[in-house]
Amino acid sequence: MDFSLPDTVGMIRDTVRTFTQRELIPQEPLIIRREAERGLGDDPLIPPELDKTLQAKAREVGLWGIDVPEEFGGQEFGMLAKCVVIEQLKHSIVPFVPPPDSPNLYLLKALCKGAQIDRYLLPYANGEKKSCIALSEEGAGSDAGNIKMRAERKNGKWVLNGAKMWISNARRADFMIVVAVTDPALKSRGGMTAFLVDKGTPGVTIPTSYPMIGEYHPYQVFFDDVILDDEQVLGEVGNAFVPITNRLGVRRLDIAARCIGLASRCLDMMVEQANSRRTFGALLADRQAIQWWIADSYQEIEMVRLMTYRLAWKIDQGVTDFRRDGSMVKVQATELIQRVVDRAIQLFGGMGLSKELPLEYIARMCRVLRIVEGPSEVHRWVIARDLLRNGVPNS
């Protein structure tokens, strides 16, 4: 059993690490200031011109299309490489994302057909278009099978009516992947369908945003007699639930990699501070409490990293049902970062609470992650349900 990273992935890691140090970390004071000043507004934390510059520099060093198949113009390095890239990028709080912008790639490449490939998949994969997924509703957050939004067949068209909430990037997306009920009797067992809805489609309004803790800033989206052709159906009618579930699994891996990167940044800061700060005549590094904080943080990061890399490796091997593993990494990683950043803040004392450092920003930003994409309690239930139904696997 080989636990070393493949040479290609190792080189990618080193490239992204350098990019993060040179291009992202110097921008952190700007991001902290913009987040503090944003208030109820929804301006992007990275100014558009800076984002454009960062995207160009990322392309120069090959940081684009990491997991996009070669047939769609990408580099096809796989999920493990993408996981490593995300981890290294999140050594910084700058919310920079190289194209494509979210795990919707896995949904689109599995379900797009015909003209949808040129209209949506290809421009999305190469960064020309941004997407978002509109799934959650009031009363149907973690329980996606309980959504109520309807899509009815009328006069040879699809007519969508309903509302979605907690939708990230809704105003910035060029198109949405919208999940609606097409057969109320079947619901998640053959009654849910995904649709591709372009920005500016008549009947779609986004009047409400939700300013929230950290950088998370979702929206409410309304659909009032939105008329779509059959060409806007993504995948097969009635069969959206399983592909959507797989997409959510990829997103949970993405979140886990983010948490590992941020936790590693916190640990680096803890070690540097412990080796330089003196109190009562001795270095913090000589205090047993500090030593234990650092030792525990390192061990926990290593354990969660191995679990996360293992899931990425499974996906690269073609495993398609990874719901239990996705729940495991989501729970462990999001709870890991809370423990590590709390220790880091405690080590730095008053400075850890200030906006001179990124620690308080990390603490607020990461608190969101124990709720979005399924709260820890639901994921623990998913894990237990699987084990109680199917038994404990041998490996």
pLDDT digits (tens, 9 = 90+) for 240-284: 888 887 778 888 999 999 999 999 999 999 999 999 999 999 999
Planar angle of CA 387, 390, 391, nearest 5 degrees:
60
Q: Which of 35, 87, 137, 373 is catalytic?
A: 373
pLDDT at residue 64 tops 70: yes
Distance separating alpha carbons of residues 4 and 309, to the nearest angstrom: 11
Per the annotation, the verdict on 373 as an active-site residue is yes
| Residue 146 DSSP label | G
Name every residue whose Cβ is closer than 8 Å to that of residue 144 and which is 6 or more positions away in sequence: 135, 136, 179, 188, 241, 244, 245, 248
pLDDT at residue 353 tops 80: yes
pLDDT at residue 142 tops 80: no
pLDDT at residue 188 tops 90: no
pTM flag (> 0.85): yes
Q: Which of these, 113, 120, 127, 184, lies nearest to 152 by C-alpha position? A: 184
Give the CA radius of gyration of the chain. Answer: 22
Residues in the chain: 395
pLDDT at residue 143 tops 80: no
pLDDT of residue 18: 97
